[in-house]
């Protein structure tokens, strides 16, 4: 047995506290009509987005910290009892140190080790699986998993193909072990396919193409997306994995309380729900308010729906995401928080 394992009975990782933060500044579709050749009608009908939030000062760690502060205050969590912090993000404050280290310091989690995880829009699912493994191993008792992105820092506000799709936000969950194996994170199925890298990426700024005057002039430090190509694979990838997770856990559409989908495009969300046989009232959506907040979308949806009293103890949730990499995946959670 591993030296730092304290496990006597098997446990599932389950969410025992939640928190969220979205910045106050709103960019609505009218704003984009004023700066680009676009319309509220086009944006709404093609994406479902009406507004997005923008962080004016500071980096992603500001929002991740505020989401954790909300969690700590609401659930009276002692930050010194947190063993590990994972921040899923593709917009870290800086290359290093990690954003999670900044959060660790900001909230006074002086006994936690902290690291970032980059899996774009699937980041929260990848981090959730990683955090759950730390709990299930018995080595750690309390792991914070945060999805946070300041997409406004990497989108080109002169490119109508991308800029209006994204927004900023953060949400956090605390994972702990439960010996009641009916509850918590029951299953995940995660995928990566790097062959998709040319359809959705940032062309410069990393170690392969460090920043130069030319790369800046050519606006290569922004999100590039071949929207049509990504749409095709996203719609299939997200629906396939959501159905796969349902089937391998013997769940019918009746059994599912909510689909919690990544919020990139309302048409992708609706297609996924249709493949799962779910009615619209069983689909968590916040794309109209926040756009695509990348790693934050799924936890923001969960936390908002829970805070509004819609997600209840015992509910079966299916999470599904698709994003840059490509990365995609699904998860099955039986909700245990009252």
- The verdict on 224 binding ligand COA (CB under 6 A) reads no
CB of 184 to ligand COA, least distance (A): 27
- The verdict on 38 binding ligand COA (CB under 6 A) reads yes
Q: Is 286 left (phi over 0), alpha (psi -120 to 50) or beta?
A: alpha
Active-site choice (29, 101, 163, 262): 262
Helix axes 60-75, 99-106, angle to 10 degrees: 40
Q: Which residue's CB is nearer to ligand COA, number 13 or number 268?
A: 268
Annotate each residue in 170-199 with x if it binds ligand COA (CB under 6 A) or - if it does not, as one string.
------------------------------
Rounded CA-CA distance 147/171 in Å is 6
Residue closest to ligand COA when measured from CB atoms: 227
Rounded CA-CA distance 156/32 in Å is 12
**Which among 10-18, 39-47, 61-69, 306-314 is the span making contact with ligand COA, rule CB under 6 A?**
39-47
- The verdict on 50 binding ligand COA (CB under 6 A) reads no
- The verdict on 146 binding ligand COA (CB under 6 A) reads no
Task: List, in order, residues 6 or more apart from 76 with CB less than 8 Å away.
Answer: none
Number of other CB atoms surrounding residue 187 within 10 Å: 16
Rounded CA-CA distance 213/194 in Å is 28
Please tell me what DSSP assigns to residue 166: B
Number of other CB atoms surrounding residue 244 within 10 Å: 16
Select the residue interacting with ligand COA from 71, 72, 151, 230 (CB under 6 A).
230
SS3 98: coil
262 among known catalytic residues: yes
CB of 264 to ligand COA, least distance (A): 3
- The verdict on 160 binding ligand COA (CB under 6 A) reads yes
Active-site choice (12, 29, 101, 121): 121
Backbone torsions φ then ψ of 260, nearest 5 degrees:
-110, 95
Select the residue interacting with ligand COA from 87, 107, 112, 234 (CB under 6 A).
234
- The verdict on 322 binding ligand COA (CB under 6 A) reads yes
**Nearest alpha-carbon partner for 173 in 52, 298, 29:** 298
Select the residue interacting with ligand COA from 161, 192, 215, 288 (CB under 6 A).
161
The answer to whether the CB of 246 falls within 8 A of the CB of 276 is yes
CB of 43 to ligand COA, least distance (A): 6
- The verdict on 34 binding ligand COA (CB under 6 A) reads no
Active-site choice (12, 29, 265, 292): 292
- The verdict on 292 binding ligand COA (CB under 6 A) reads yes
Select the residue interacting with ligand COA from 46, 141, 203, 275 (CB under 6 A).
46
Q: Which residue's CB is nearer to ligand COA, number 221 or number 307?
A: 221
Dihedral angle sign, alpha carbons of residues 112, 116, 120, 122: negative
Rounded CA-CA distance 167/152 in Å is 6
Position of tokens 């290359």? Answer: 95
Rounded CA-CA distance 87/104 in Å is 10
- The verdict on 323 binding ligand COA (CB under 6 A) reads yes
Select the residue interacting with ligand COA from 124, 140, 231, 306 (CB under 6 A).
231
The answer to whether the CB of 273 falls within 8 A of the CB of 243 is no
**Pairing between β-strand 327-334 and β-strand 184-192 as defined by DSSP bridges:** antiparallel
- The verdict on 227 binding ligand COA (CB under 6 A) reads yes
Catalytic residues, by residue number, are 121, 262, 292
Q: For binding to ligand COA (CB under 6 A), which residues are involved?
A: 38, 42, 46-47, 121, 160-161, 164, 227-228, 230-231, 234, 264-265, 268, 292, 322-323
């Amino acid at each position: 047995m591993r030296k730092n394992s304290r496990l006597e009975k098997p446990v599932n990782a389950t969410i025992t506290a939640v928190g969220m933060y979205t910045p106050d500044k709103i960019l609505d579709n009218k704003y984009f009509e004023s700066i680009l050749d676009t319309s509220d009608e086009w944006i709404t009908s093609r994406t479902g987005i009406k507004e997005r939030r923008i962080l004016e000062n500071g980096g992603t760690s500001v929002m991740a910290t505020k989401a954790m502060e909300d969690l700590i205050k609401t659930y009276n969590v002692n930050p010194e009892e947190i063993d590990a912090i994972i921040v899923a993000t593709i917009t870290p404050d800086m290359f290093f140190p990690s954003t999670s280290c900044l959060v660790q310091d900001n909230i006074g989690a002086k006994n936690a080790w902290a690291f970032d995880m980059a899996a774009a829009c699937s980041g929260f699912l990848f981090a959730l699986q990683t955090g759950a493994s730390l709990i299930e191993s018995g080595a750690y008792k309390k792991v914070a998993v945060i999805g946070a992105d300041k997409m406004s820092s990497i989108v080109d506000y002169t490119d109508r193909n991308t800029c209006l799709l994204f927004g900023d936000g953060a949400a956090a969950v605390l994972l702990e072990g439960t010996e009641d194996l009916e509850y918590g994170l029951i299953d995940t199925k995660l995928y990566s396919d790097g062959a998709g890298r040319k359809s959705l990426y940032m062309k410069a700024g990393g170690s392969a193409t460090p920043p130069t005057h030319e790369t800046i002039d050519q606006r290569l430090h922004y999100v590039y997306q071949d929207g049509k190509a990504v749409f095709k694979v996203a719609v299939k990838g997200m629906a396939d994995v959501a159905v796969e997770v349902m089937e391998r856990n013997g769940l019918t559409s009746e059994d599912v309380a909510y689909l919690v989908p990544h919020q990139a495009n309302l048409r992708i969300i609706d297609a996924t729900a249709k493949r799962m046989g779910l009615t619209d009232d069983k689909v968590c959506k916040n794309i109209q308010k926040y756009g695509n907040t990348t790693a934050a979308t799924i936890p923001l949806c969960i936390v908002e729906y829970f805070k509004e009293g819609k997600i209840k103890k015992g509910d079966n949730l299916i999470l599904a995401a698709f994003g840059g990499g490509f990365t995609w995946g699904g998860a099955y959670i039986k909700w245990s928080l009252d």
